[in-house]
Amino acid sequence: MIHSLYRRITDLAASPKAVWWLIIIAMAEASVFPIPVDLMLVPMILTRQDRAWFLATVCTVSSVIGGVIGWLLGAFLMKHIGMPIAHFYHADGRILALEDLFRRYGIWIILGKGLTPLPYKFVTLAAGAAHFPLLPFIAASITTRGARFFLEAALLKAFGEPVREFIEKRLTVILLILLVVIVAGVALVELF
């Protein structure tokens, strides 16, 4: 099922209405969809490198809107919609653990998970369920989702097709290193 869904998404990336599909998939991926939006964003940027920044912006804004939808589902419909979504992905325990982590670490959870290809939908649901303040949630989501999609756009614009395999295989490691650098920078600022 996942392979056919992947194939369908990459086919949509080449369609005339690709930008609209990018918006829909980015919003859905942030709240309920199992496939990362990068699978659509990467071929779209490779096809039209002159639109890389536009596509990264569309993806960021749409992902954050989807994140707000996920937050709302978690805050107001967790029992009826949020937990069934988590259950579908066999992540009931992960949602509950994230909810507890939000109460303790808040913004750091969004910065850590929003930057990586790990399921952002769980972050959005858990943030809402924990009633994490919406405005800091949006600000952190813009920061991390934007960093992720603009980094992909920059790499694809600079290096083109050869970087596609690199991104698909190593993006998580790159983003985790970037996260460690950010956290270390913040920790150093706190010390001084």
What is the residue-level pLDDT of the chain in tens, covering all 192 positions? Answer: 555 666 677 677 778 899 999 999 999 988 877 677 887 898 889 888 899 999 999 999 999 999 999 999 888 887 787 778 777 777 777 777 777 777 777 777 777 776 665 678 878 888 888 888 999 999 999 998 999 899 889 988 888 877 767 766 666 676 666 666 656 655 554 554
| Contact in structure between 152 and 39 (CB atoms under 8 Å) | no
Q: Which pTM was predicted?
A: 0.75
Reading the block at residue 185, the tokens are: 């920078």
Q: Both ends of the chain: CA-CA distance in Å? A: 52
* CA distances to 45, 47, 140, 178, 191 from 185, in Å: 31, 36, 16, 10, 10
